[in-house]
């Protein structure tokens, strides 16, 4: 007799109850195990830096890019209803691989785990630091990953960025926000909920010399924003508040204006990423497999870089081009690797205060969809 949808869901729930890395087919390996990792791009080129106040952006351009139109982003999937995110225990109508509909209910809500269902026909791209708003608390995605099309409900690792609320809210939506680098670092590298909470209300976790100029948004401004407009310590409300938002907006608008001017005359090349510096320190880079993917994330990323900048000292030192070029070089060292066969591979290398994280798609073509390199602050 053909298995019913409910039997299929039941077996899935059993798998959740015994959930572990192995149960989802993940493989942890050292270099050399499994298929070889794609080679790093060799034709990235830096444009002249774009600076305003203490933020400098180096556009990264390439004459070669991959076709990434097959991939669905979280914002697109949630807005179209093709991706569903729920608290554990929340009943959700799903459609199985044969198109049959039925109800699914998880085992209970958890701070660091949600349930995600990709009901689309496209692989879903998730980036660490993307914010989903709603449910019992706002959360951010813990790791870059890809979710196969038509997948059954799967546990999704997340971190909370709304410390003071644990109550029913609206259904989850994409907040069109990527949290700023100090928070992304805690989520993507350190992977500790307490450190994520601390970084939300601390602004920037970068060290500050005692004689450094004060940041445009000081710790007292964040504290007053929480008291007046974000009593639950909601990330979105803090950084859109009257005490913080205008400073961020001014920086975003000016950098965006200069960025458009610098990149408007490109011929035969596309902007695929950026290298970011705060004052004289090159600290961060996000590079994608295509100009299309970069363009989708650019506005959210720029705002995240600006949030970081306004919480750092207002030094006007400028970084060197040579320091920025180092952020285009692939780190060498021991790799920590997580993969789902035929879907994706996630790789991390840590060396000399730097962390490099790469997300490789394994289908329909092997490519590095996203590469993050950061200078750790802790």
What digits encode the pLDDT tens for the residues 281-312?
999 999 999 999 999 999 999 999 999 999 99
> Which range among 109-113, 282-286, 292-296, 314-318 shows the weakest confidence by mean pLDDT?
109-113
Which of 3, 1, 6 minimizes the C-alpha distance to 94?
Answer: 6
For the chain, state the CA radius of gyration. Answer: 21
Q: Is 133 left (phi over 0), alpha (psi -120 to 50) or beta?
A: beta
61 or 189, higher pLDDT: 61
Q: What is the pLDDT of residue 373?
A: 96
> Which range among 167-171, 184-188, 251-255 shows the weakest confidence by mean pLDDT?
167-171
Cα separation, 247 vs 90, whole angstroms:
39
137 or 347, higher pLDDT: 347
Q: What is the pLDDT of residue 210?
A: 60
Residue 53 has pLDDT above 80, yes or no: yes
Residue 326 has pLDDT above 70, yes or no: yes
Q: What percent of the chain has pLDDT over 70?
A: 81
Beta bridge partners of 374: 284, 355
Which of 150, 175, 116 minimizes the C-alpha distance to 299?
Answer: 175
Q: Write phi, then psi, for 258 (nearest 5 degrees).
A: -70, -35
Residue 90 has pLDDT above 70, yes or no: no
Reported residue count of the chain is: 378
Average confidence (pLDDT) over 88-96: 55
Q: What is the pLDDT of residue 109?
A: 66
Query: Which pairs from 28-32 meet CB under 8 Å and 24+ separation?
Result: 28/336, 28/337, 28/338, 29/337, 29/339, 30/334, 30/335, 30/337, 31/334, 31/335, 31/337
Q: What is the pLDDT of residue 289?
A: 97
Average confidence (pLDDT) over 81-100: 66
Cα separation, 208 vs 314, whole angstroms:
11
Mapped onto helix, strand or coil, the DSSP state of residue 73 is strand
First-last CA distance in the chain: 57
Say which residues have a Cβ less than 8 Å from residue 118's Cβ, sequence separation at least 6: 72, 77, 82, 83, 124, 147, 148, 149, 150, 151
Cα separation, 286 vs 284, whole angstroms:
7
204 or 354, higher pLDDT: 354
Q: What is the pLDDT of residue 211?
A: 66
For residue 109, give the DSSP letter. -
Q: What is the pLDDT of residue 282?
A: 96
Q: Give residue 10's pLDDT band: very low, low, confident or very high (50, 70, 90).
A: very low
Q: What is the pLDDT of residue 13?
A: 39
**Domain residue limits, the chain:** 5-375
Mapped onto helix, strand or coil, the DSSP state of residue 320 is coil
Q: What is the pLDDT of residue 75?
A: 93
For the entire predicted model, the pTM comes to 0.83
Residue 236 has pLDDT above 60, yes or no: yes
Q: What is the pLDDT of residue 189?
A: 85
Which of 60, 45, 56 minimizes the C-alpha distance to 370?
Answer: 60
Say if residue 171 is exposed, middle or buried (CB neighbours under 10 Å; 0-12, 13-18, 19+): middle
63 or 168, higher pLDDT: 63
Residue 67 has pLDDT above 90, yes or no: yes
DSSP letters for 140-181: EE-S-EEE-TTPPPEEEEEEESBTT--S--SPPEEEEEE--H
> Which range among 213-217, 326-330, 339-343 shows the weakest confidence by mean pLDDT?
213-217
Secondary structure element (H or E) that encloses residue 322, with its range:
helix 321-326
Beta bridge partners of 339: 27, 345
Say which residues have a Cβ less than 8 Å from residue 20's Cβ, sequence separation at least 6: none
Q: What is the pLDDT of residue 38?
A: 44
The average confidence (pLDDT) of the chain is 83
Average confidence (pLDDT) over 216-238: 88
Q: Give residue 91's pLDDT band: very low, low, confident or very high (50, 70, 90).
A: low
How many CA atoms are closer than 13 Å to the CA of 185, on its beta-carbon side? 25
**Integer angstrom CA distances of residue 361 from 41, 93, 288:** 15, 29, 12
Residue 265 has pLDDT above 90, yes or no: no
């Amino acid at each position: 007799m053909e298995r019913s949808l409910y039997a299929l869901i039941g077996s899935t729930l059993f798998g959740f109850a015994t959930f572990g890395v192995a149960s989802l087919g993940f493989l942890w390996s050292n270099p050399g195990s499994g298929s070889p990792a794609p080679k790093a791009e060799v034709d990235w080129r830096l444009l002249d830096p774009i600076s305003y106040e203490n933020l400098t952006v180096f556009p990264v351009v390439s004459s070669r890019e991959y076709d990434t139109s097959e991939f669905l982003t979280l914002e697109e999937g949630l807005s179209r209803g093709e991706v569903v995110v729920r608290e554990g225990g929340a009943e959700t109508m799903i459609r199985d691989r044969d198109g049959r509909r039925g109800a699914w209910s998880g085992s209970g809500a958890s701070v660091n785990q949600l349930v995600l269902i990709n009901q689309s026909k496209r692989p879903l791209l998730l980036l660490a630091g993307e914010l989903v708003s709603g449910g019992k608390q706002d959360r951010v995605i813990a790791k870059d990953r890809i979710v196969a099309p038509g997948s059954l409900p799967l546990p999704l690792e997340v971190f909370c960025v709304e410390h003071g609320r644990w109550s029913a809210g609206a259904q989850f939506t994409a907040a069109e926000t990527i949290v700023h680098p100090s928070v992304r670092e805690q989520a993507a590298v350190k992977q500790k909920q307490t450190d994520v909470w601390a970084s939300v209300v601390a602004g920037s976790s970068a060290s500050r010399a005692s004689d450094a100029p004060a940041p445009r948004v000081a710790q007292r401004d964040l504290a007053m924003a929480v008291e007046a407009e974000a009593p639950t310590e909601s990330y979105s409300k803090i950084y859109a508040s009257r005490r913080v938002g205008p400073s961020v907006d001014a920086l975003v608008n000016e950098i965006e204006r200069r960025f458009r001017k610098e990149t408007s005359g490109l011929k035969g090349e596309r902007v695929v990423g950026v290298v970011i510096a705060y004052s004289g320190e090159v600290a961060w880079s996000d590079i994608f497999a295509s100009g299309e993917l970069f363009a989708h994330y650019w506005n959210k990323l720029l705002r995240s870089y600006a949030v970081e900048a306004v919480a750092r000292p207002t030094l006007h030192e400028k970084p060197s081009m040579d320091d920025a070029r180092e952020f285009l070089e692939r780190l060498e060292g021991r790799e920590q690797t997580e993969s789902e066969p035929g879907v994706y591979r996630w790789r991390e290398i840590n060396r000399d205060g730097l962390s490099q994280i790469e997300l490789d798609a394994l289908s329909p073509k092997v490519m590095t969809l996203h590469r993050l390199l950061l200078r750790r602050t802790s």
